């Protein structure tokens, strides 16, 4: 059984915020703190690296073909303006604080890397004149050829792109995307960074955004080391997978360094099983993972989606259990047609075409849902029935969603015992796998099949 202490509440949209004035004074206070901290910590890391006898470089042979474009110093410098303005476009105190904490975390992560593992830019920058030359001279007044990986420019770019992208629409959003590409390219064409600094900067940037999400709780809030053997076993397997990918990346370097991306992805999955739980995947009420989670988990998500489609290739369609409640895998937008409500238990896969009435109850794969969650999701299914045909799904439709349907059968009195509920689900879909942990969770949730009184339901499910 899952030892989660609380029922995930992402299926309940946050209450509509009361319009209020933007927190200008608080934004100014954050800027007064972050601005000096940026230059002081950045310069301190530079001075430490300059004092070393030898500072290495990570550079690939093909990088000698990268051109020097003096004009790109303009988009390079423009990130300073985006940095400051990003604090003032925040609509409320929560958004502002999360944005500021992302920027603060970015500074801490990058400077820590600069101090522990300093690198040096190894190319000679050509001379330039005019306005562009003056901008380079100002830059070189405090910026030395150190502080390379991860590129703090790229780390900040990710954070700023996410914030401005949430506020801009239409042609202005496309303009933002184009200018962001120019800023990203400029770190190479101004001869400020080697290529290695760019993907490491992207990784660090999305990590900062993942640590401080805007629409869900931070992944570390409520984190507790699991006492469940099954979760530790899966955490160990994912950790072993991460290490098996990281080792050749470090040993062989070169193109093998790309293996660090799936290695980090599997490391985060291992952390979810050991510590963070389903909330580490950051699945939102709209059925999507946060943008940061999508990028950080991308290799794992691709593998999970392929696995889902492979194991269900012979029976891809949902099956009816009873009374317009169906059981199946997480649907695509096309597969969603025909169902009025979806009750989704998959933490790791997005729900395409999610609608307002859908219930999103993220749970970890291969782990029996907690009794509290089973009681809540059973109520979700019963409420959803009043709106039409209901699809209860997880990655495969064989375990998590099956236990949810069994819980609903017990909750609604359609099954008198756990064994009868499981038998009814397996009769509808023989491939369903519900082991002893699922039986125990159902037994604890419904005490031998006694329906749950509505007054005892979690508030988010009534």
Q: Which of 90, 113, 393, 394 is catalytic?
A: 394
Q: Which helix (H) or strand (E) holds 309?
A: helix 298-311
Q: Please tell me the distance from the alpha carbon of residue 31 to that of residue 274, in angstroms, as a whole number.
A: 37
Contact between 364 and 277 (Cβ < 8 Å): yes
The secondary structure of 435-451 as a DSSP string is -HHHHHHHHHHHTTTPP
- The sheet carrying 359-363 orders its strands as 319-322, 325-329, 390-394, 341-346, 359-363
Radius of gyration of the CA atoms of the chain, in A = 25
The CA-based dihedral angle spanning residues 82, 86, 87, 88, taken in that order and rounded to the nearest 10 degrees: 100
Q: Is the bond into 280 cis (omega within 30 degrees of 0)?
A: no
The neighbour count for residue 301, using CB atoms within 10 Å, is: 20
Partner residues linked to 325 by β-bridges? 322, 390
Q: Please tell me the distance from the alpha carbon of residue 113 to that of residue 90, in angstroms, as a whole number.
A: 29
Q: Which residues contact 441 (CB under 8 A, 6 or more apart)?
A: 1, 2, 368, 369, 370, 371, 374, 403
**Backbone dihedral region for residue 287 (phi beyond 0: left; psi -120 to 50: alpha; all else: beta):** left
Partner residues linked to 342 by β-bridges? 391
Q: Is 208 a catalytic residue?
A: no
Q: Please tell me the distance from the alpha carbon of residue 109 to that of residue 146, in angstroms, as a whole number.
A: 16
Helices in 117-254 by DSSP H: which ranges? 130-140, 152-165, 171-189, 197-211, 229-252
152: closest CA among 116, 105, 189? 105
Contact between 408 and 441 (Cβ < 8 Å): no
In degrees and rounded to multiples of 5, residue 373 shows phi and psi of -70, -40
Q: Please tell me the distance from the alpha carbon of residue 14 to that of residue 29, in angstroms, as a whole number.
A: 28
Q: Please tell me the distance from the alpha carbon of residue 281 to that of residue 342, in angstroms, as a whole number.
A: 19
Q: Active-site residue numbers?
A: 394
């Amino acid at each position: 059984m899952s030892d989660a202490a609380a029922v995930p509440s992402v299926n309940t949209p946050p209450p509509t915020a009361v319009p209020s004035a933007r927190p200008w004074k608080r934004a100014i206070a954050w800027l007064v703190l972050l601005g000096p901290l940026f230059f002081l910590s950045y310069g301190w890391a530079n001075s430490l690296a300059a004092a070393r006898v030898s500072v290495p470089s990570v550079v690939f042979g093909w990088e000698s073909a990268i051109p020097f474009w003096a004009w790109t110093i303009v988009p390079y410098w423009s990130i300073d303006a985006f940095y400051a303005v990003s604090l003032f476009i925040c609509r409320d105190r929560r958004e502002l604080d999360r944005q500021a904490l992302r920027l603060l975390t970015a500074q801490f992560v990058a400077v820590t890397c600069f101090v522990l593992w300093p690198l040096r830019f190894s190319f000679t920058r050509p001379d330039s004149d005019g306005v562009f030359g003056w901008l380079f001279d100002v830059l070189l007044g405090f910026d030395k050829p150190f502080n390379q990986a991860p590129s703090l420019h790229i780390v900040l770019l990710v954070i700023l792109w996410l914030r401005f992208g949430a506020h801009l629409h239409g042609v202005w959003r496309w303009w933002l995307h184009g200018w962001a590409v120019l800023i990203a390219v400029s770190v190479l064409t101004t001869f400020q960074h080697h290529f290695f600094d760019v993907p490491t900067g992207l990784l660090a940037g999305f990590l900062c955004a993942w640590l401080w999400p805007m629409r869900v709780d931070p992944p570390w809030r409520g984190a507790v080391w699991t006492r469940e053997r099954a979760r530790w076993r899966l955490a160990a397997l994912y950790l072993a997978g991460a290490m098996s990918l990281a080792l050749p990346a470090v040993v062989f370097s070169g193109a093998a360094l790309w293996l660090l991306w799936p290695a980090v992805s599997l490391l985060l999955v291992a952390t979810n099983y050991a510590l963070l739980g389903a909330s580490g995947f950051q699945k939102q009420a709209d059925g999507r993972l946060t943008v940061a989670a999508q990028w950080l988990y991308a290799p794992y998500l691709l593998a999970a989606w392929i696995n889902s489609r492979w194991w269900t290739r012979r029976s891809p369609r949902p099956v009816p259990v009873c009374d317009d409640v169906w059981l199946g895998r997480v649907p695509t937008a096309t597969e969603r047609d025909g169902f009025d409500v979806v009750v989704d238990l998959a933490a790791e896969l997005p729900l395409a075409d999610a609608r307002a009435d859908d219930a999103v109850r993220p749970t970890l794969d291969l782990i029996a849902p907690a009794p509290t969650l089973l009681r809540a999701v059973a109520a979700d299914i019963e409420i959803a029935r009043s709106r039409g045909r209901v699809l209860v799904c997880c990655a495969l439709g064989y375990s998590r969603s099956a236990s949810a349907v069994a819980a609903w059968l017990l909750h609604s009195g359609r099954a008198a015992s756990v064994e009868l509920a499981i038998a009814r689900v397996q009769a509808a879909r023989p491939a369903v796998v519900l082991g002893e942990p699922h039986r125990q969770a159902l037994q604890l949730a419904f005490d031998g099949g006694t329906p749950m009184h509505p007054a005892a339901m979690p508030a988010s499910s009534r």
